[in-house]
Chains A and B, each alone.
Chain A
Amino acid sequence: ETGVTQTPRHLVMGMTNKKSLKCEQHLGHNAMYWYKQSAKKPLELMFVYSLEERVENNSVPSRFSPECPNSSHLFLHLHTLQPEDSALYLCASSQVVHNEQFFGPGTRLTVL
């Protein structure tokens, strides 16, 4: 595997389910990000981890819970989501001192 991978690629869940999105980067980067991409809205930065420490949480509801166990892995734990949370969730990584982010293919989430 190379680059940034995300699993699953598609996820359908009910509002009472608990699920997790996984992101893995094989680039040796030190920073990882979660973004939400909804139709007709700008890309929204949700969380930033730098050297495994959360450095930014952009007013994201508590039903989204990130976890970064090491510099290569990033998770987004989901529980009691709402239909408006349906979107494409993108993971990205970068070197701490560089400015170029590398994106994964995304997880298409549908909340019923």
Chain B
Amino acid sequence: AQSVTQLDSQVPVFEEAPVELRCNYSSSVSVYLFWYVQYPNQGLQLLLKYLSGSTLVESINGFEAEFNKSQTSFHLRKPSVHISDTAEYFCAVSVKTGGYQKVTFGTGTKLQVIP
């Protein structure tokens, strides 16, 4: 069975500073990797995903994540955060089981951007 670990439950960071949200996973089979973001009182939205190919993936709002197979990590980074990035971020791994995907989520990291 796969598992996801997000060690940091909360990360405070000043506006325009860089940030890294850590995600490590374990799985005995190949996985797909995702970062979702949840703004207050909303559902989860896909931020970026790694399925195959280039190990560095980017989102449209400046976030990027790099798949590191040897370290089983998929850390999320942004070089300069904005107030609007304040949200909870969930890392997830997915394996195909039968006719559907089985997704396991991490416990989430709350990013608080300080003005």
**Of B16-24, B68-76, B77-85, B92-100, the one touching chain A:** B92-100
Whether A42 lies near B96 (C-beta < 8 A) is no
Query: With A50-B98, A101-B101 given, is the CB distance from A90 to B107 under 8 Å?
Result: no
Query: Complex Cα distance A48/B107, Å?
Result: 20
B77 shortest CB reach to chain A, Å: 21
Which secondary structure dominates chain B's binding surface? strand
Q: How large is the interface on A (under 10, 10 to 19, 20 to 34, 35 or more residues)?
A: 20 to 34
B57 adjacent to chain A (CB < 8 Å): no
A55 adjacent to chain B (CB < 8 Å): yes
Whether B105 lies near A99 (C-beta < 8 A) is no
> What residues of chain A have their CB less than 8 Å away from a CB belonging to chain B?
4, 6, 31, 41-43, 45, 48, 50-51, 55-56, 90, 92, 94, 96, 98-106, 108
